[in-house]
């Protein structure tokens, strides 16, 4: 696992839950160039799937990522439950799965695994109908109205982060719009679903359900452009500093997927 980047000066602080993501555009602005280094390092190893932010011209306003602090995770699976409730998922579909991993002492520790939102996603190129796509801001999504359920993307994903829906969805109330890639609810029978980082919330400054649902503050949503990360408890970090000081790593990055989910280890975890 490769250790990540260089830090900048800054301190975490606490804000109200309502306006957490809204601070991403104004906090730690002086470190944004350094945070772009993480994005550019990843993008250089890709085949043109992303990485436009470091180039000339106007790029996207955000480059979303996630940080998971394993030091605080107790394996309660509240993140999984919050995700299932928000997206009306059946019990067998866990878009955020919590694995039990073995550490260097032979003990175990919990490890949440959402979609890795890869810079170079293997699932993208194998889809026969181009239902999987990657946004300019780095979110890998599935168009539920295009997906034909070939399951090629499931076979290609090294993180096992995609799920086929075999059954008719349960009736969903209070949904005034059809399923979209950003909010694929209800997930239709015969299609593939996955974590979307609550893409419908992000433009409005709202945190993903898994982030707000975690009582331990384990999960942070971050922005590589503004260089800020925030969890559901209101703890705001300078992203590049947070990653460097805690020797953050990425899961299976040796495969060349360039995931945008960073893990902070605390108890001898190797994530291999």
pLDDT digits (tens, 9 = 90+) for 121-144: 999 999 999 999 999 999 999 999
Report the half-sphere exposure of 139 (CA within 13 A, side-chain side). 24
Percent of the residues in the chain that have a pLDDT greater than 90, as a whole number: 61
Which residues, other chains included, contact 234 with Cβ-Cβ below 8 Å and sequence gap of 6+? 14, 15, 16, 17, 20
Mean pLDDT, rounded, for 88-104 = 90
| pLDDT in the model for residue 92 | 87
Query: Which burial class, exposed, middle or buried, applies to 143 when counting CB atoms under 10 A from its CB (0-12, 13-18, 19+)?
Result: middle
| pLDDT in the model for residue 1 | 52
Mean pLDDT, rounded, for 43-53 = 37
pLDDT digits (tens, 9 = 90+) for 168-224: 877 766 555 678 888 888 888 999 999 999 999 999 889 999 999 999 999 999 999
What is the spatial distance between Cα 4 and Cα 116, in angstroms, rounded to a whole number?
16
Is the per-residue pLDDT at 83 higher than 60?
Answer: yes
| pLDDT in the model for residue 49 | 40
Q: Is the dihedral of CA 50, 58, 66, 238 positive or negative?
A: positive
Percent of the residues in the chain that have a pLDDT greater than 70, as a whole number: 75
Which residues, other chains included, contact 182 with Cβ-Cβ below 8 Å and sequence gap of 6+? 141, 196, 199, 200
| pLDDT in the model for residue 149 | 94
Mean pLDDT, rounded, for 113-128 = 96
Is the per-residue pLDDT at 28 higher than 80?
Answer: no
| pLDDT in the model for residue 176 | 57
Q: Quick one: how many helices (H) and strands (E) in the chain?
A: 6, 12
Contact call for residues 100 and 108 (beta carbons, < 8 A): yes
Which residue did the predictor score with more confidence, 272 or 126? Answer: 126
**Residue 68: in which H helix or E strand, if any?**
strand 64-69
Nearest to 138 by CA among 36, 49, 231: 49
Mean pLDDT, rounded, for 215-244 = 95
Is the per-residue pLDDT at 59 higher than 50?
Answer: yes
């Amino acid at each position: 696992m490769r250790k990540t980047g260089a830090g900048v000066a800054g301190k975490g602080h606490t804000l109200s839950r309502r306006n957490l993501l809204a601070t991403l555009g104004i906090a730690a602005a002086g470190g944004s160039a350094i945070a772009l280094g993480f994005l550019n390092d990843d993008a250089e190893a890709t085949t043109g799937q992303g990485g436009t932010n470091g180039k000339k011209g106007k790029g996207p306003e955000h480059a979303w990522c996630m940080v998971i602090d394993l030091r605080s995770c107790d394996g309660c699976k509240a993140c999984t439950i919050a995700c299932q409730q928000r997206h009306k998922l059946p019990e067998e579909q866990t878009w955020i799965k919590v694995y039990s991993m073995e550490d260097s002492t032979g003990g175990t520790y919990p490890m949440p695994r959402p979609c890795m939102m890869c810079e170079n996603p293997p699932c993208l190129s194998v889809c026969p109908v181009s239902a999987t796509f990657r946004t300019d801001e780095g979110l890998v999504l599935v168009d539920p109205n295009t997906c034909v359920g070939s399951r090629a993307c499931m076979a290609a994903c090294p993180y096992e982060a995609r799920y086929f829906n075999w059954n008719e969805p349960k009736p969903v109330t209070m949904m005034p719009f059809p399923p979209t890639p950003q909010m694929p609810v209800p997930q239709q029978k015969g299609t593939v679903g996955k974590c979307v980082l609550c893409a419908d919330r992000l433009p409005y400054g709202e945190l993903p359900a898994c982030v707000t649902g975690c009582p331990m503050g384990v999960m942070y949503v971050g922005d590589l452009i503004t260089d800020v990360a925030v969890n559901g408890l209101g703890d705001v970090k300078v992203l590049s500093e947070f990653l460097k000081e805690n020797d953050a790593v990425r899961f299976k990055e040796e495969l060349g997927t360039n995931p945008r989910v960073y893990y902070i280890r605390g108890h001898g975890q190797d994530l291999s």
